[in-house]
Structures are given as C-alpha cells and as structure tokens.
Structure 1
C-alpha cells in the first residue's frame, strides 16, 4: 500500500517544502471567525499542527494508518490537541459543521477519475457549514507532462532513492515507481512503493465543484496573491489553488 513504509521517512523527504506558504494562504482565505478545520489527507500532520498552533480546532483525516501514527506523535511532541481519524476521503462519514476543509500537497491528485473527484467534493460540501470554504491544490496538466518519462534520484547520508515517473493510462495520469534505501545502522534497508496520480483541467475541477453545490470558486496559481481566470492561467508547470465557497 502506498505510504505504508514511506510514512517513517516522509518528513525527511519533505523537509524543504514551504509549509509556511500553505499556512499563509489558508489564513488569508479563512474568515476571522473560522475555528473548526478539517485537514483531508493530512499525512504526517505537519499542516494540521501548524494550523492548530495558529488557533484552529483541527481534525486530521487520512487513509494511511502509518501516516496517522506519525501525525499523532508529532502532535504529542508539539503539545497540540488534534483529532486523528482514519477514513477514505471518497467515503467520508460523520463530519459536519466545519468552517473549512483543506486538502494540500496534491492530495486530490490521488483520485483516479472525475467521478471520484466529484464524490470527494460532495463529501466536503456536506462536511462544511453554510458559510464554509474548501481550499485545495492540484498539479497542472503541464506539470504532469514535464514529469513523465523522467528519472529522479537523491543520495543522502540518511536515505537514497530512485524515482521513475511514467505516463499513466489516461491524459494527466502518471505512475511513480520509487525504490528507497534507508539507513539502518551500518546497512541500508530497501523498500519499494508505487503511487498513482492524475490531474484534470482547471475547468473540469471548477465544473465538479459547481455540480455539487459550491457557489463561488476562486483560482490561484503558485501562491500568487492575485486571482487567476481560465483565460490567464499558465498551464506549463504550475500548482493550482482553489478556494470554493458554499
């Protein structure tokens, strides 16, 4: 299963990720009165903990039990009270009256088709209160085209990996074959993981959001402060951010 063994070293791999920019983006687009926030696909809980420290009442949801173990330990270390729940985001149950739902670092790109995307958007819609907001990001189609058929590698004292990125079966899809070597005393332990991702056009995401009931959908690109439109997006190699309001 994806992330089963990766959970232990995930934070090492992501240590250069600009989490503070995601935090600033979130705070900018939430109302001052917002308190209850659901982190969908929370992983090891880095974003959940940052938002908790910023004063939000956090719930973290992830499919991976291993990721949630790491998240729980992080919250204990950082002295943050966060509720952690293991659920599949395509089948969310028991969530309601949240001021906001966030889903960052291309979590939505793990959904295999538009039917699943629409189902998750519907689940989020019903988890929000009447003035709730949904914030998420996805890769652009151009980013996927740039990544496929490439080989990436990293050699570090603590770990090394080889990453093959292959095109998937459909446009916007890619398959990641990863082989890791993790330091274990004087030896290195090997493990392999496979991840499947897929992205869709900006208009497809907007249509799905409106289909489930979101009234206002705003588009941003790569942490830029100004809103984009379908006419002025740069699809070459970008991360798109959506702010959807009920």
Structure 2
C-alpha cells in the first residue's frame, strides 16, 4: 500500500522514467482550457513530478499525498526549481479543507490504492466539494484486464546500474485486485547492494462502475479513453482515463 512508500520514495523517480508526464500535462491543458492561472489539485502527487511540470506551466498547484517521504522529496524538488507549490499530507479518501479548484487530477493509477468501493465514492465526493462549478477532474486507473491478466504474469524483473527488483504478484480476495511483493536491491556508496522489501495492494473496478460512482456524486462524464490515446477502452486496454466535470 502507499503507506509503505518509505525507502521506495528514494527510487520512485527512476522507476517512473517511462511515464509520459508531458502528455498528462497536455491532457490537463486540453480538459481545463489551459493551465496558466488555474488552481490545480494534484491528488496522490508522489514526489511532485507532475506538480512541478504543472507549476512550470503557470498553474497554481497544491499537491496532496499520504506518504511523508514522498512529500519530502516533492518539497525539495519544488524548492530546487524555485517553484511555489503547496504540499499537504492527506489520504485522498479523507481529503478536506480544499475549495475553489479549477482542476483536480489523480495521476498514474494512484486511485487504485483506494481499494474499498465506498472509499472510492467518498474520494469522488471530496473532490467534487473541492472543485468550483465547471471544474474538471481527470484521473486514470488500471483496467480490469491489467489487474486480472497482465499483473498476474509475474515474476517481473528490473535491472539498472543502480536499482534492481524482483516483483511477484498474486490475486487479491476482492474482484480485480492484486497483491504485489517487491524485493529491491539498491547500490550503495560502497558498491554493495542494500535490500528492502515492499508490499502493495491495488484494486480497480470496471469502467461502468466508475461511471456510476461519478454520476452518483454529481459529475458529468465528458470523456473516457484508454492508453494515452483518444480512443474508447477496448478489451485489452491497460490504462483507463476519465475526464469529468462538476
């Protein structure tokens, strides 16, 4: 779970190098009719990679995450880039104290760490309250094909000069959920490798179930698309995007 992101925060950026954050910025700009001057809530902001890009584009960004380690790195990133970004320690299902936002974003399957349906619904309610009338929410989740098929093709391995891992998965008790056990080996200054372990649990829901929850809260569905493309989700799509408006 994301609560376990501690030492993992130190290797997170390298592991996320293949994520097209610039494309996410473009998607947000398209949904919000530009970024400059917009008040943006980055939920599950992690180490602040997306928040920094949005702030560089002129957004007034607030980032929230439940990991102090992630937020420490995010704060240091913003400071080093001379960017004014507010960061807050909050789980998205207990989001509070936010209002008047033009945009909310839950990037890179962060919502899949909220595994209880009622808490997903509560997260949508919290975001609805945080947005101004006409404000937009953009988020992505794993498809059920990814949780039920692709993730269960483990073990997966990764090896770079500095970081290696072995990733084992097994299905969770809930439908479309998956447990992940990762053993990391990180090269230290003495050229020896230090090991640490992570256990993560994620769950997703079918597209229509997300749609039903969003409609229940009061959102208007504008766009549902897949895999970074302006195309409807297909049977083997892996990442599903939702664009909805208050």
What interval of TM-score do these two structures reach, taking the shorter chain for normalisation?
A: over 0.9
- Within the candidate set 167, 170, 174, 1:170 is matched to 174
- Within the candidate set 218, 221, 224, 1:219 is matched to 224
Give the C-alpha shift of residue 78 in structure 1. Answer: 1.5
Contact 1:149 1:166 in 2 (8 A): no
**Residues 1:200 and 2:205 are matched in the alignment:** yes
**Residues 1:76 and 2:82 are matched in the alignment:** no
**Residues 1:42 and 2:45 are matched in the alignment:** yes
**Residues 1:152 and 2:152 are matched in the alignment:** no
Partner in structure 2 of residue 239 of structure 1: 239
Partner in structure 2 of residue 132 of structure 1: 135
Q: Tell me the TM-score normalized by structure 2.
A: 0.94
Partner Cα distance (1:168, 1:217) in 2: 32
Contact 1:206 1:217 in 2 (8 A): no
Contact 1:140 1:235 in 2 (8 A): no
RMSD (Å), alpha carbons: 1.3
3-state SS of the aligned residue for 2:4? coil
Partner in structure 1 of residue 15 of structure 2: 13
Give the C-alpha shift of residue 92 in structure 1. Answer: 1.0
Give the C-alpha shift of residue 34 in structure 1. Answer: 5.9
Partner Cα distance (2:194, 2:55) in 1: 35
Give the C-alpha shift of residue 216 in structure 1. Answer: 3.1
Deviations 1:10-63 (A, max 9, x none): 001111221111111111111348610000000000000000011110000000
Give the C-alpha shift of residue 217 in structure 1. Answer: 3.9
Aligned length: 241
Alignment gaps of 5+ in structure 2: none
Q: Tell me the TM-score normalized by structure 1.
A: 0.94
**Residues 1:122 and 2:146 are matched in the alignment:** no
- Within the candidate set 66, 69, 89, 1:63 is matched to 66
Contact 1:34 1:100 in 2 (8 A): no
List structure 1 segments (4+ residues) > 6 angstroms apart after TM superposition: none
Alignment gaps of 5+ in structure 1: none
Partner Cα distance (1:165, 1:93) in 2: 33
Partner Cα distance (1:200, 1:93) in 2: 24
